Structure 1
Amino acid sequence: MSDAQSPQVFLGRQPILGREQQLLAYELLFRNGVIATGNSAEVLDATQATTTVIANAFAELSIGDSLGPYRAYINVDEDFLFSDLIEALPPQLVVLEILETIQPTPEVIERCKELHDKGFTIALDDVIDVTPAFLPLVDHADIIKVDLLGTPPERLAPLVAQLKQHGKKLLAEKVETAEQLAVCQQLGFDYFQGYFFAKPTIISGRKLNPSQVILLKLLALVMQDAETTEIENAFKLEPGLTVNMLRLTNSVGCGLATRVTSLRHAITILGRRQIQRWLQLLVYTNPQAGGVKTGSPLLQLAATRGRLMELLAEHLQTKDREFSDQAFMVGIMSLMPALLGMAIADILAQLPVAPRVSDALINKGGPLGLLLQLVEATEQLDPAIVQQALDRLPSIRPQQLETALAEAFAWANHLNEEST
């Protein structure tokens, strides 16, 4: 079936975090019809199209596998709420997010109760007030999403107090600043979502910690093909890095059949190409804690970018291993400014990267720069922006992007699942 004939699935996701800013779930965005608008068909039944796309996404794109240990929040309008297709979704993997446009009629309340009894978790979206008519719907919900932008600041504390009387989990959505996060934590919110987490900002002038300095030196050593002993000795300066490296290389995401038992073993088994990849990922971990913070949204986003760029590069320039490797590097490194608080040019000055990698990261130039623009577009949750980026890369079809997105999500999530 051609792209024009098959239903297209555009997947976007925004992280949902716990009180310790650990990653717990994603809100998934599904778009029916087209990323590619040129051959779009007329959609006569929007709800049928949307439900079909969601069902296909779980079946054909294996979104259930892609979620890994995380759950998916899925928007539900009134038509979808009463559709039989909603029951095709796996209740253990999804949270049904009841949109604010749905009126709390007796039929709606009964349907929510029915779905809840079948094992589905119910969340109420964009809550800014609780009226008497709305209370029965609150009673059958598990999670209440409070819209920070829609709630006047002076009304937030009374609203939270009112909702807490009902014993529900509270999710602060549209968190955009550190100040908002601090207020919501103080008020007792359980979960958090918003651009503050999904789009990290650069903090200028931050000093690198010793582990980050060593990691950049290690990256330079590997990229210069230094001796194994020299790389080992550099690792020994930070024992936490060695622990993280071994845990990452033994994760499901690595896919090794042999369990790695030492750093030298890892270097031997993985080879320099994979060692370089894991060093890039280690920049996003917490060496001082001696563990891998794979629940970090920034690590998840960086890993997804790297893998997605690699997969798309294979479509763009088939059988060019070096190009694919460089695409992975661009994806991972594109978020280092947000992590390290340094301009990308200053980071690259410490690493012997190829000119086209540097051009992509600094100027968004060349084929790698176009790929980076496309990958960043998928994070905007706007199909029109994705389409504009796809127009600049005509050799990548929408279906290829959709499949690559699902695979990249899975690869990044599996970094969190350590093999036993």
Structure 2
Amino acid sequence: MTDPADAGSSELFLGRQPILDRSQQLLAYELLFRNGRQNAANVEDPVQATATVVTNAFSELAVGDALGPYRGFINVDRDFLFSDMIELLPKDAVMLELLETITPDEAVVARVRELKDKGFQLALDDVVGLDDDYDELLTLVDVVKVDLQPLSPDQVRTIVDRVRPTGARLLAEKVDSKEQMEFCRELGFELFQGYYFARPTIIAGRKLDHSQLALLRLTQLLLEDAETAELEQVFKGQPGLTVNLLRLTNSVACGVRTRITSLRHAITMLGRRQLQRWLQLLLFANPQGGGVTPLLQLAATRGRLMELLADKLRGRAADLPDQAFMTGIMSLMPALLGQAIEDILAQLPVPPAMAQALAAAPGAERPGTLGRLLALAETSEGGDPAAVAALLPGLYGITPAGLNAAIAQALAWANEIGRDAGND
């Protein structure tokens, strides 16, 4: 018989959704853990399997490290709440979300108080109403997540009035519009989560400016191992970018003793790998300041994830990981720019395989290896284990364990990129 722990560690599927603060900066992720075998007949104890899935994510996959400065919100049902395994989680890195199915009886209140005394933070999930049974629990939890979807404005106000005296922070979840976000901000909500933050309406109608286009074009040329003369031509059209390149190459950090006076010399001395990383930092930097936006963070994570997954494929072409990275980044450009992918591709010619993967209609199957990798990356972000598992047979060499490890590595890399870009 297969041990539940083995099943949990080998077939864990990890999804994540960003949680933002009032200035729309990334503050945390809700982590969606799914065990692909949890409902299989050979798992005698689903609760044990679920607990193992989550704890293994923080031990074997090092998700705690991958989160970086961001806290991970984790759904907890009643059985898991009372499981000893919950105490193996890193209390400084998680927020335990008490599902709405948990009845706030005396045993639950006592367990929550015990976990609080041990240093854990807790939240109430999917709140649509709070009766008197929640009086004591509200004094213990750190966050109350209010599900906006079924509630009227007056009902939301009632919940806010109920929570405000307790000191718990309010999180608006399932935010689908700018109006909802502004309404909740006026009521005092501090945290936000929902599809609105991944839709083009944030920056509707924005076009690629010359510098952004140049960054994308330079990155693509580097991936194609283009001649230095081609790189020079792009730099020559961007005086500001050129000055920054010369400053970077002349910096003490680069260890260059000879003064750089030409573009060709700068590109040669800096090296293509370091130049590519610098361009990536610039690409992910928020031009308005204040760090990296959630969408840019997602673009960084998706690009790196696809690169790592491409590297695992058997019989792959040598340049596939680099092409996968660019495909992942560009897949979120429509949301970042409020512009159709066809218009973006028209401004930035890419290889046919990449264009086909990116231009597939919503809901349609994405063609080619790049298309399948992009579909897997997108699906993994939703935490649907059945949908993820269905895509793996088409990508020979990628296992559930390999996918999980790549997700953790991609999150860690994107967090590092975000810190570096924020310090530029």
Superposition TM-score, scaled by structure 2 size: 0.84
Q: CA separation in 1, counterparts of 2:376 and 2:336?
A: 21
Alignment-mate amino acid for residue 343 of structure 1: A
Alignment-mate amino acid for residue 150 of structure 1: P
Task: Please show how residues 161-172 of structure 1 align to structure 2 within 5 Å.
Answer: 161-172=161-172
> Match of 1:374?
376
Deviations 1:211-267 (A, max 9, x none): 43443554576565444655554453359x949x96xxx9xxxxxx96899997984
Q: CA separation in 2, counterparts of 1:280 and 1:273?
A: 11
Name the SS for the 2:374 alignment partner.
helix
- Residue 298 of structure 2 corresponds to residue 298 of structure 1: no
Task: Please show how residues 121-132 of structure 1 align to structure 2 within 5 Å.
Answer: 121-132=121-132
Name the SS for the 1:73 alignment partner.
strand
- Residue 178 of structure 2 corresponds to residue 178 of structure 1: yes
Task: Please show how residues 260-279 of structure 1 align to structure 2 within 5 Å.
Answer: 267-268=267-268, 271-272=271-272, 275-276=275-276, 278-279=278-279
> Match of 1:155?
155
Q: CA separation in 2, counterparts of 1:58 and 1:205?
A: 40
Q: CA separation in 2, counterparts of 1:87 and 1:124?
A: 18
Q: Tell me if the contact between 1:19 and 1:192 (Cα under 8 Å) persists in the aligned partners.
A: yes
Equivalent residue in structure 2 for 1:12, among 10, 15, 30: 15
The change in CA–CA distance for 1:260 and 1:59 in structure 2 (over 3 A counts) is farther
Q: Tell me if the contact between 2:74 and 2:96 (Cα under 8 Å) persists in the aligned partners.
A: yes
The change in CA–CA distance for 1:19 and 1:335 in structure 2 (over 3 A counts) is same
Q: Tell me if the contact between 2:26 and 2:294 (Cα under 8 Å) persists in the aligned partners.
A: yes
Same amino acid, percent of matched pairs: 53
The change in CA–CA distance for 1:260 and 1:346 in structure 2 (over 3 A counts) is farther
Q: CA separation in 2, counterparts of 1:77 and 1:3?
A: 18
> Match of 1:254?
none
Report the CA distance between 1:164 and its aligned residue: 0.9
The change in CA–CA distance for 1:129 and 1:198 in structure 2 (over 3 A counts) is same
The change in CA–CA distance for 1:340 and 1:278 in structure 2 (over 3 A counts) is farther
Alignment-mate amino acid for residue 18 of structure 2: P
The change in CA–CA distance for 1:409 and 1:207 in structure 2 (over 3 A counts) is closer
> Match of 1:356?
353
Q: CA separation in 2, counterparts of 1:86 and 1:72?
A: 14
Q: CA separation in 2, counterparts of 1:85 and 1:4?
A: 12
Equivalent residue in structure 2 for 1:383, among 385, 388, 396: 385
Aligned residue pairs, count = 403
> Match of 2:404?
402
Equivalent residue in structure 2 for 1:342, among 339, 343, 363: 339
> Match of 2:26?
23
Task: Please show how residues 96-245 of structure 1 align to structure 2 within 5 Å.
Answer: 96-198=96-198, 200=200, 205-209=205-209, 211-216=211-216, 218-219=218-219, 224-227=226-229, 230=233, 232-237=235-240, 242=244
Q: Tell me, which stretches of 5 or more residues in structure 1 are unaligned?
A: 251-256
Name the SS for the 2:419 alignment partner.
coil
Name the SS for the 2:95 alignment partner.
strand
Q: Tell me if the contact between 1:16 and 1:191 (Cα under 8 Å) persists in the aligned partners.
A: yes
Superposition TM-score, scaled by structure 1 size: 0.85
Q: CA separation in 1, counterparts of 2:398 and 2:213?
A: 37
The change in CA–CA distance for 1:381 and 1:42 in structure 2 (over 3 A counts) is same
Report the CA distance between 1:161 and its aligned residue: 2.0
Report the CA distance between 1:187 and its aligned residue: 1.1
> Match of 1:253?
none
Q: Tell me if the contact between 1:235 and 1:242 (Cα under 8 Å) persists in the aligned partners.
A: no
Alignment-mate amino acid for residue 410 of structure 1: A
Q: Tell me if the contact between 1:200 and 1:338 (Cα under 8 Å) persists in the aligned partners.
A: yes
The change in CA–CA distance for 1:202 and 1:120 in structure 2 (over 3 A counts) is closer
The change in CA–CA distance for 1:33 and 1:58 in structure 2 (over 3 A counts) is same
Q: Tell me if the contact between 1:317 and 1:323 (Cα under 8 Å) persists in the aligned partners.
A: no
The change in CA–CA distance for 1:416 and 1:375 in structure 2 (over 3 A counts) is same
Q: CA separation in 2, counterparts of 1:269 and 1:87?
A: 51
Q: CA separation in 2, counterparts of 1:418 and 1:285?
A: 9
Report the CA distance between 1:273 and its aligned residue: 5.2
Q: CA separation in 1, counterparts of 2:315 and 2:271?
A: 22
> Match of 2:363?
none
> Match of 1:49?
49
Range with greater deviation from structure 2 (145-154 or 272-281): 272-281
Report the CA distance between 1:350 and its aligned residue: 2.4
> Match of 2:89?
89
> Match of 2:394?
392
Please, what is the CA RMSD of the aligned residues? 3.3
Q: Tell me, which stretches of 5 or more residues in structure 2 are unaligned?
A: 361-365
Report the CA distance between 1:191 and its aligned residue: 0.3
Q: Tell me if the contact between 1:281 and 1:299 (Cα under 8 Å) persists in the aligned partners.
A: no
